[in-house]
Structure 1
Amino acid sequence: MAKKNEVTVEEKLRALYDLQLVDSRIDEIRNVRGELPLEVEDLEDEVAGLNTRLEKLDADIEVIENDIKSKKNQIDESKATIKKYSEQQKNVRNNREFNALSKEVEFQELEIELAEKNIAEYKVQIEQKKEVIGQTKERLDERVKHLEHKKSELDEILSETEKEEQALIKKSAEFEKNIEERLVNAYKRIRSNVKNGLAIVPVERGASGGSYFTIPPQVIMEIAGRKKIITDEHSGRILVDEELAKEEQEKMNNLFTKVG
């Protein structure tokens, strides 16, 4: 006979299974969200990257336009120099001075020719960058629309489920406090080692829930007796009998209806 205030094995099993049902419900809610938060984060990063690229392209164009202005100023200076030297040629005293000025004029003409060539190249570069800007803006517009759609989708799911999730997380923490730490740790360890997060499962048709391995009749009787905590030798999960599972599921469904 259990001492007064001593928690029986059955009560421990019920508390653990309740905790499992609450945590499984939280898992379901999070599965509904799925990869959406990550998708939104990736899209936000992509949009930020495209904006940075556009800023850099605009800055590049500004630098090139300043280079064009510089070359145009250089052309103006060379033209002014040519005019000056041409005027001086009218007053030269000998062929040597005339030829020297002619060489200076020729040099300035080559400088103009080179500057005009540079300007033409710079203009091609600007056109190429403007083409990339156009493509980038198209991509950005498409990504922004996609991001807005995904954010709207996520916000809708969050508005539907966030309140329930927070209430269930609180309930999960409350349930944990009522279960001895050793069992909670065992439950969490098992839960982290199984794909579907089910650490506690009922016996269904002579096998542990979700398993094809049959359980010996003697062990099934022990589980139904609720006198000790029994684990499945194949999966390591804690086992409860089907009747206890149904009773707790019904109780927890009522809770889910209230917090949902």
Structure 2
Amino acid sequence: MANKELSVEEKLRALYDLQLIDSRIDEIRNVRGELPLEVEDLEDEVAGLTTRLEKLKTDLDSIEDQIKEKKNAIDDHKTAIKKYGEQQKNVRNNREFNSLTKEIEFQELEIQLAEKHIKEMKASIEHKKETISGSQEKLEAKSTHLGHKKSELDAIMAETEKEENFLKEKSAEYQAQIEDRLLAAYNRIRGSVRNGLAVVSIERGASAGSFFTIPPQTQMEIASRKKIITDEHSGRILVDSSLAEEEREKMEQLFASL
């Protein structure tokens, strides 16, 4: 449960501290940049190529089995031709002889057809072998690239993971101090701005990162720390520069201790 008893100043300090912690987490993640996504994409590519290669090899085995079947069939046809040839020597009339001749011709046609299929399948094998070779080279190149990217990511993770986990715990601690409505506003603003800054200090009469001057009366109200005030141009929550400086020093000590 969020603590509802904080004063406005304590809420502002907690919000600004949360912002400093979350910005630090953003910095750590920016160092990693697109690497996690690159690694994920490469892993998907490697998995896809591996599956494709396995299918090509299965297809190749299947074609080779079919060739064996065709060769066995040719042997059977040759055996049949030999048998019918022997039978022709013992026929009693022309009708039987012609019938056996047709059987022999049919078997010879079957042999020709099987040989044609074998030739086509052998050509298909050569084509598949070329495809397998190309896919294998591509898979090896992608796997090597993936290995380099993973090592790169692992090195960055080793440097930053401990700090990020600690900061995420601290972020959760500060979020728990802030009332739900205010935290929801913080997260909404943070999600809508490019740099993730939902709480900013006043620098030289304007909100940090903005060129719009804040009226002196509003600046005084912000400095009094009696209510939560947002920038009318950016919607960000505003804190005075003194409070910001104090919290930055406090957080810098925290970060330095890691």
* TM norm structure 1: 0.93
| Cα separation, 2, equivalents of 1:180 and 1:85 | 98
Fraction of identical pairs, as percent: 70
Structure 2 equivalent of residue 79 of structure 1: 78
Pairing 1:1-260 to 2, within 5 Å after superposition: 7-259=6-258
Query: 1:195, CA displacement in angstroms?
Result: 1.8
Measured after TM superposition, the shift of residue 224 of structure 1 is: 2.1
- Give how far 1:247 is off: 1.7
Distance 1:170 1:88 in 2: 93
**Cα deviation digits, residues 59-102 of structure 1 (max 9, x gap):** 11111111111111111011111111112222223322222221
| In 1: Cα distance, 2:179 partner to 2:56 partner | 62
TM superposition shift of 1:179: 2.7
Unpaired runs of 5+ residues, structure 1, are: 1-5
CA deviation after TM superposition for structure 1 residue 51, in Å:
1.0
Instruction: Tell me, in whole angstroms, the C-alpha distance in 1 between the residues paired with 2:128 and 2:29.
Output: 44
Q: Match for 1:93: what amino acid?
A: R
**CA distance, structure 2, for counterparts of residue 221 and residue 32 of structure 1:** 38
2:225 partner letter = R
* Shift in CA distance, 54/224, structure 1 to aligned 2, threshold 3 Å: same
Aligned length: 255
Deviations 1:108-138 (A, max 9, x none): 1111111100100111111111111111101
Read off the aligned partner of 1:184 and give its amino acid letter. L
**Secondary structure in structure 1 of the residue aligned to 2:257:** helix
Q: Distance in 2 between matches of 1:55 and 1:8?
A: 66
Amino acid aligned to 1:91 = N
Superposed structure 1 runs of 4+ greater than 6 Å apart: none
| Alignment root-mean-square deviation, CA | 1.6
Q: 1:117-166 CA deviation, whole Å, 9 max, x = no partner?
A: 01001111111111111111011001101111111111111100000001
Letter in 1 for 2:11: K
Q: Distance in 1 between matches of 2:83 and 2:7?
A: 111
In structure 2, the gaps of 5 or more residues are none
Q: Secondary structure at the match of 1:234?
A: coil
**Change in CA separation of 1:32 and 1:91 when aligned onto 2, cut-off 3 Å:** same
Instruction: Report the secondary structure of 1:166's partner residue.
Output: helix
* 1:78 aligned counterpart, secondary structure: helix
Secondary structure of 2:26's counterpart equals: helix
